[in-house]
Structure 1
């Protein structure tokens, strides 16, 4: 039976991959609707022929890698269970230490190591693709360093979550999902507070904006929006990428507005002010806090569904999966598999909510700056720097885009421009 489950899983993955290959390369089209052709949203008006071709090529391959990566993770966890590796990890852990907490730490390091090795090829392909299309400027040693930082940050996080999760499972067989969720609330808030000052600096150097004249303009705008900001931060990304970005991170006193140095180098001051106004909207309208509340609500539903699905799966296929009890550490790959599936399934909803907030931020920014020419120019440059699709296929937009498409964003700015010109 275990062999049959494995064969069916591989067959399903292959068919899934073939479907998305057909969808992205043969079925889906990114041609603009007639009414947008020739407008400022038309990439043919601001990209040359080579850039248009590279944008289509890069986007198709990148999107295919995205759709292949997450189900590959599911396949990995399933095979860890079917091949008895989860059972072996537990045996190795028990033979290495008599202390329960160390046994869990050893089990998690084995599972994390195998996951790192299994997913490395796809991650490397994604990195190589970015290098090939001149999106990434990062050297292999630098990229490998980031991969290893990812590994240890994820391992450290798991080392906090997993012992508590299985302790709660043993304390309450029927309510562990609720107690685990209640404990996750302070942990989530703490991690959001910690992110900008502890985790992010592991990857890059952050410092106050060097251009003091521009910083004064940004802080003046922030003051008009009643935002108590004293600094705008820049981060050195030029040694890693040609893409541009800006974002808001953290909560409370640790909240930061961050600009990539690539953005500072390639956009004019007015274009940067538009982007900053966009980011300020997230603070003004408390999008970060709505995001945390939405995440906690979805995590409550997700943990309950995980509880029900795990019990059902162990009851039906416990022998094949080498799991005798949900509360056994051997069930961790099953827990992670179900969580990953639920996250992927909920991504259309979370992306939709995010696109709504980003759309509001665009409108807030243009109403504050009243400069559609520079706003449109900033989006055109962002598109060029990342070889982004202006009008991506529907499934790509649903599952990948947490921002409106560039077609939607530039079209909104053009409407604003026409309205105020009249």
Structure 2
């Protein structure tokens, strides 16, 4: 059997395994219909008409920018990855520094990352103007530019290291590199899940322990009752950037902590904060991070094996000016293929995410036994975060990672009518 055919077969097997894991691990039925059937979702979610119109206007102003940015980003990646233009950029970026393949990888990825970001930068700036206009963003332009620069730099460095290891394996094992690379790609996903809260989060926010008091005690007790050991409860200085309200649980094992936005402490009463944190603890209880990491690792491994099949196709390599899969000039093509695959997977990822988020809502309701606070909290989040309570169906299908506010309010009403232990 040829190495190319073996790569395709392994990609297919990993793809099937990915589908099976998604099908088995996703909670497709979160809450059985209560007596009398499920509650129809009110499109307005009980919000005042003025607030609904404001949220719809904000979404209408922001959605075109999101779509344009998506098209520009993918179009630039396609222009660089399917022609010799990207290969020329990689070689020319490294030429002043000797032009070695390692230099080509790191400087080439850096140039491609910066170029891709610059193409979409005007659209991102327009989106920031919209957020300022509606009071959602509190960042000055200096901080905004700093955030964009840091995010681009982190992405470029991580991508460069991943692609360097990819090309190193191609050069060390010309026939079986795709198998080794699949394992390394899966390992990157696992390591990234562990390192993200301790390496990347501090690049954008400062964290301070929540002062001792009733809320801190209640949140730690909520975690203990859920069987979730946490190291600390931290407050993020989110107000430097936004008026949005949020909380989350991040980290694995010894790095796990509850994080609440400082805006949350200023705007919501304790019982609503506890409802939000209970939702986030639900993700840990249900092992959503671990399951997501497994799914991500399988997806990365399958994609890498599929690259092993594609990058052994000589006409494709010749088209982009690369001599082989170990040639750094293949990097723009790899980035384009990975970006396209990520876009195609988005609807499925979000379909799974919406079910997972609904199950976390169920944990919050089961833990707090307070559907009224849950509903008030959801309406307050929608008001402050300017969430469209009932977005267009196609948009929600493709981009919606959470149930809509209307669906979450109806879910809480169903829970109140169900006979939950």
- For the pair 1:147 / 2:137, whether they are aligned, the reply is no
Deviation (angstroms), 1:118? 1.5
Alignment partners' CA distance in 1, 2:221 and 2:351: 32
Match of 2:408 in 1: 409
- For the pair 1:72 / 2:72, whether they are aligned, the reply is yes
| Per-residue CA distance 1:118-140 (angstroms, 9 max, x = gap) | 12112212212211221111111
83-92 or 175-184, larger mean C-alpha shift? 83-92
Deviation (angstroms), 1:413? 0.6
Alignment partners' CA distance in 2, 1:302 and 1:92: 27
Look up the SS of the partner of 2:258 in the other structure: strand
Deviation (angstroms), 1:151? 1.8
| Per-residue CA distance 1:25-49 (angstroms, 9 max, x = gap) | xxxxxxxxxx858x5x624x32342
Match of 1:56 in 2: 56
Listed as ranges, the matches of 1:326-345 within 5 Å are 326-345=325-344
| Alignment check: 8 A CA contact 2:89 2:111 kept | no
Deviation (angstroms), 1:325? 2.8
Deviation (angstroms), 1:99? 4.5
| Per-residue CA distance 1:205-252 (angstroms, 9 max, x = gap) | 012113621010111122222222242111011121111111122211
Listed as ranges, the matches of 1:302-341 within 5 Å are 302-312=303-313, 315-316=315-316, 318-319=318-319, 321-341=320-340
Match of 1:42 in 2: 44
Deviation (angstroms), 1:254? 0.7
Match of 1:289 in 2: 290
| Per-residue CA distance 1:8-58 (angstroms, 9 max, x = gap) | xxxxxxxxxxxxxxxxxxxxxxxxxxx858x5x624x32342x32221122
Match of 1:395 in 2: 394
Listed as ranges, the matches of 1:364-375 within 5 Å are 364-375=363-374
Shift in alpha-carbon separation, 1:85–1:334, aligned structure 2, 3 A? closer
Alignment partners' CA distance in 2, 1:110 and 1:123: 19
Shift in alpha-carbon separation, 1:113–1:228, aligned structure 2, 3 A? closer
Alignment partners' CA distance in 1, 2:255 and 2:74: 35
TM-score, normalisation: structure 1: 0.84
Deviation (angstroms), 1:180? 1.2
Shift in alpha-carbon separation, 1:90–1:197, aligned structure 2, 3 A? same
Deviation (angstroms), 1:309? 3.6
Match of 1:17 in 2: none
Alignment partners' CA distance in 1, 2:187 and 2:63: 35
| Per-residue CA distance 1:346-391 (angstroms, 9 max, x = gap) | 1111112221111111111111111111110000011011111112
TM-score, normalisation: structure 2: 0.84
Match of 1:158 in 2: 159
Shift in alpha-carbon separation, 1:68–1:197, aligned structure 2, 3 A? same
Match of 1:179 in 2: 180
Alignment partners' CA distance in 2, 1:70 and 1:121: 13
| Alignment check: 8 A CA contact 2:55 2:387 kept | yes
Alignment partners' CA distance in 1, 2:287 and 2:105: 38
Gapped regions of structure 1 (runs ≥ 5):
1-34
Deviation (angstroms), 1:173? 4.0
| Alignment check: 8 A CA contact 1:310 1:334 kept | no
| Alignment check: 8 A CA contact 2:44 2:390 kept | no
- For the pair 1:378 / 2:377, whether they are aligned, the reply is yes
Alignment partners' CA distance in 2, 1:256 and 1:342: 32
Listed as ranges, the matches of 1:196-207 within 5 Å are 196-207=197-208
Shift in alpha-carbon separation, 1:88–1:186, aligned structure 2, 3 A? closer
| Alignment check: 8 A CA contact 2:109 2:160 kept | yes
How many residues align? The count is 381
| Alignment check: 8 A CA contact 2:167 2:328 kept | yes
Look up the SS of the partner of 1:238 in the other structure: helix
364-373 or 248-257, larger mean C-alpha shift? 248-257
RMSD: 2.3
Listed as ranges, the matches of 1:232-247 within 5 Å are 232-247=233-248
Match of 2:31 in 1: none
Shift in alpha-carbon separation, 1:52–1:211, aligned structure 2, 3 A? farther
136-145 or 167-176, larger mean C-alpha shift? 167-176
Q: Looking at both structures, which has the greater relative contact order when contacts are Cα pairs under 8 Å and sequence separation is at least 6?
A: 2
Alignment partners' CA distance in 2, 1:176 and 1:54: 53
Look up the SS of the partner of 1:247 in the other structure: strand
Gapped regions of structure 2 (runs ≥ 5):
1-38
Alignment partners' CA distance in 1, 2:101 and 2:305: 26
Match of 2:8 in 1: none
| Per-residue CA distance 1:118-176 (angstroms, 9 max, x = gap) | 12112212212211221111111111111111122112212311211111122344533
